[in-house]
Structure 1
Amino acid sequence: MQNLPQRDVRCGGRLSSFLMERRHMRVLGITLGAVLGVLAVGGAQADDDFEPEVLTVEESIEPGANLFLLDQSWQGASRLNVLAVEDLAHKGNLSMGLVAQMALSRDRKTAYTISAYAKRITYGPTEAVLQIFDVDTLTLKSEVIIPDKMSQVAPSNAVLQLSADDRYAFIQNATPATSVTIVDTKAGEVIAEVPTPGCFGIYPALDSQRFSTLCGDGTMAAYDFEADGEFSAPVRSKKLFDPDEDALFIMPERVGKDLVFPSFKGNLYRISDAGTPRLVDKFSLTEGIEGDWAPGGVDVMAYNASHDVMFVLMHPDAEEGSHKNGAEELWAVDMDAQEVLYRSAVGHLASIAVTPGEEPVLFGMSEESEVVRYEIAPEARFAAKPTATLEGAGDWTVYAIAGG
């Protein structure tokens, strides 16, 4: 019985604490009610002057020349960013699947992309799609399901190409056996898969239903095809280059009617793809120049036809395997005179693109997600001057197409 008062005290303490908490909650409730009441009155007054914002979508992107920048993703959705050539202002973007590639119609009004959609992300079936977008409105026009054999590689203009009239899309496959899928973009269907054993890269002909591909033995093979999907046996060239002594980058530039490929050792190979492919000419960029310079990067050349000038990314101290190194200089090359006109210092660029016309603008992309705009001065032997920079443009910003 002596312990009972102590228990009563403890019970009384708990009850007292509970009652005090209830009182504090009641006071807090009164205070909050007063504040909410004031806010309600203020809100009622503000409603008289409040004008809700109306969200709209522009019918088309801003006018002017565009830079098309591929942000390829291996982890999620890839993007095709559309920037202004004038100042790198962002105009809009298009979304597609994993490991996307891009190509543009001749008038730059239609964008073609291929990408993969992994239904279960880490395993299971994958759906590959060719998507066709209207550039001005950034809207999807159509899409075609393609074989999931499409080559999933770093951005490359040799993996997705269009015929000269934009009627057919060519898609590089690798399983690792190589072949080319041909899509009739007008009919919206796959019409053929052309086996191209030992060869990689797609180079459409200028004026016919034909494409060529570069082969690992130093030759080139050309294939003709019909609208119904029938295709010819390959037309094989003689050996055009030595893949062991002077391998070629697979991304050429079209110069006149010919294809020009840069080599790992700094030579330019000019190849005709009309009829049986053949070597037209070859010359060295680096002969007589000290420092062991060679091309380096991913998409290492860009050609301006108005001046017949090729821009090439170059790095010093070249050795086996350094062809992937970013550039330290941008060389402007007169293709007719086969002469280096100017060497501009640049910051570790991996790919370049240049606008057409008499006043070219060049864009350089780095693997550090930076895009640099350069004004080119024809009167100063095509020296390049940086005028704008865009950082954080994506994970794989190493391929772009500049145009109007």
Structure 2
Amino acid sequence: MRRAASRIAIAMTIAALHVAAPAIAADYPQPLPEEPVPAVAVLPEKYPESWVFVHDLHFNSLPDGRVAVVDVAAENRNVKGQIPAAQFGNVLPATTRPEILVGETFFSRLTRGERTDVITIWDAKTLSPKGEIVLPGGKRGLFVTLKNSLQFTNNEKWALVFNFTPGSSVTVVDLDARKVLSDIDLPGCSLVYPTGPRGFTSLCADGTMTSIALDAAGRAGPTVTSKVFNDIDKDALFMSPAMVGRTAWFASFTGNIRGIDFSGAAARDLGMFEIAKPAGGDPEWRPGGWQVITADKAGLLYVLMNPHGKEGSHKDGGTEAWVIDPVKKALVRRIALKNHSVSIEATQQASPLLVASKPDGSLDVYDAATGAFQRTIVGVVHDPMTMTAAR
């Protein structure tokens, strides 16, 4: 009888499982359809203005630096693609053709051996390499990325590469012919700011700036050195400006804004004005971070501000973005950031977004007009030092 009872119990259990199976299956996600392998997406030739290039130096593994292409307006699937940028790389998206330039360095044994510096040219649609220009001398500047270490001139036909050995110089590269045109010594000066139709300016350690026009062969032509305008000992400038047309707006360590006009053959200093400092700083409000100033399409400036500003706080990041009208020389509004941030970038939409990168690698996105928080984008990069909005 016990055996019969056991058989009846087992039969009833099996029957119950058959009845419950459809209900249990309905509670779980159904399998996704099979995807073809390989499956490769193609990006648009011209990127939407809500897309941002987020440069990840990847300090924990510098040979594995990268640049993520991120749609900061999207609710999900924000990351559209990624390209490598090895060993303190530099990224420079073109606007006249669907290409992305990356200045990078390789060693034959990954971290040692023969050094090779290159400009890699990436196809913006497929994110695949389409060309490479070898830079001679092993002297491309290797330091935490600054946008003005790689720039265009001559209507994006040439690239300017800043070198640092620690002797400073600039290599002029013909992008169409895929060859180096010249090397120009820059004793005591740093970085490159495209100037005039075919030339560049560099900021110098004595507080001046030197503008060099280039001839049709890419060689150094007339050179103009300005008067001293940058008081480096008392109020140095952050060297990455916000560009509005051909005017660069630089923030200073103590909270001043200086304009420089790069439209002519020689750079022209437009003077400095002070950002009004409301009460509440401890000890005072100052710009702080890595990429501390950016501009939207309408020409408004956004400055990353730190309430604990003092001598030596210029890399500490900030908790607010102050919106400045450089024409009126006035503080328009203040955007309270949800999190402490190290860099900011404004998108180039008619209604811009403000992107703030956090030390943990995530991005906070705000409505630049209202300051309203939109979203946090996580898992994009490790060390988002600089960002470049698509144009």
- Bin for the TM-score computed over the shorter chain: 0.7 to 0.9
Deviation at residue 53 of structure 1 after TM alignment: 5.3
Partner of 2:293: 301
- Between the two proteins, the alignment pairs up a number of residues equal to 347
Q: Is the 8 A contact 1:73 1:100 kept in 2?
A: no
Q: What is the aligned counterpart of 2:58 among 73, 76, 80?
A: 73
Q: Is the 8 A contact 1:73 1:98 kept in 2?
A: no
State whether structure 2 residue 169 is matched by structure 1 residue 182. no
Name which structure has the greater RCO, CA cutoff 8 Å, separation 6+: 2
Partner of 1:209: 198
Q: TM-score normalised to the size of structure 2? A: 0.83
Partner of 2:333: 342
Partner of 2:372: 385
Deviation at residue 85 of structure 1 after TM alignment: 3.1
State whether structure 2 residue 313 is matched by structure 1 residue 322. yes
State whether structure 2 residue 208 is matched by structure 1 residue 242. no
Partner of 2:40: 58
Q: TM-score normalised to the size of structure 1? A: 0.81
State whether structure 2 residue 147 is matched by structure 1 residue 157. yes
Q: Matches of 1:86 and 1:256 in 2, distance apart?
A: 24
Letter in 1 for 2:364: V
Deviation at residue 120 of structure 1 after TM alignment: 1.8
Q: Matches of 1:177 and 1:69 in 2, distance apart?
A: 29
SS of alignment partner, residue 132 of structure 1 = strand
SS of alignment partner, residue 244 of structure 1 = helix
Q: What is the aligned counterpart of 2:132 among 140, 143, 162?
A: 143
Q: Is the 8 A contact 1:286 1:294 kept in 2?
A: no
Q: Is the 8 A contact 2:158 2:174 kept in 1?
A: yes
Letter in 2 for 1:56: P
Deviates more, 1:214-223 or 1:59-68: 59-68
Deviation at residue 289 of structure 1 after TM alignment: 4.6
SS of alignment partner, residue 147 of structure 2 = coil
Residue deviations 1:144-198 (CA, integer Å, cap 9, x gap): 0113201111121111111151111111111001111111001101111111111
Deviation at residue 59 of structure 1 after TM alignment: 4.8
Change (3 A) 1:333 1:57: same
Partner of 2:25: none
State whether structure 2 residue 387 is matched by structure 1 residue 400. yes
Q: Is the 8 A contact 2:197 2:265 kept in 1?
A: no
Residue deviations 1:18-43 (CA, integer Å, cap 9, x gap): xxxxxxxxxxxxxxxxxxxxxxxxxx
SS of alignment partner, residue 398 of structure 1 = strand
Q: Matches of 1:336 and 1:309 in 2, distance apart?
A: 9
Letter in 2 for 1:54: P
Partner of 2:346: 354
Partner of 1:369: 361
Q: Matches of 2:371 and 2:253 in 1, distance apart?
A: 23
Q: Matches of 1:143 and 1:167 in 2, distance apart?
A: 15
SS of alignment partner, residue 154 of structure 1 = coil
Q: Matches of 1:82 and 1:330 in 2, distance apart?
A: 23
Q: Gaps spanning 5+ residues in structure 2: where?
A: 1-32
Deviation at residue 124 of structure 1 after TM alignment: 2.4
Deviates more, 1:275-284 or 1:364-373: 275-284
Partner of 2:221: 232
Q: Matches of 2:242 and 2:97 in 1, distance apart?
A: 17
Letter in 2 for 1:342: R
Residue deviations 1:326-383 (CA, integer Å, cap 9, x gap): 1111101112211111111112211111122420111111232111111122xxxxx3
Q: Matches of 1:91 and 1:224 in 2, distance apart?
A: 38
Q: Matches of 2:34 and 2:218 in 1, distance apart?
A: 57
Q: Matches of 1:71 and 1:108 in 2, distance apart?
A: 24
Q: Is the 8 A contact 2:276 2:330 kept in 1?
A: no
Q: Gaps spanning 5+ residues in structure 1: where?
A: 1-50, 378-382
Q: Is the 8 A contact 1:240 1:278 kept in 2?
A: no
Partner of 1:13: none
Deviation at residue 287 of structure 1 after TM alignment: 4.7
Q: Is the 8 A contact 2:149 2:192 kept in 1?
A: yes
Q: Matches of 2:97 and 2:389 in 1, distance apart?
A: 9
Deviation at residue 255 of structure 1 after TM alignment: 2.6
Q: Matches of 2:239 and 2:34 in 1, distance apart?
A: 55
Letter in 1 for 2:254: K
Residue deviations 1:94-123 (CA, integer Å, cap 9, x gap): 124222110111257321101111112343
Change (3 A) 1:229 1:336: closer
Q: Is the 8 A contact 2:363 2:377 kept in 1?
A: yes
Partner of 2:244: 255
Deviation at residue 84 of structure 1 after TM alignment: 1.5
Letter in 2 for 1:161: Q
Q: What is the aligned counterpart of 1:170 among 140, 157, 160?
A: 160
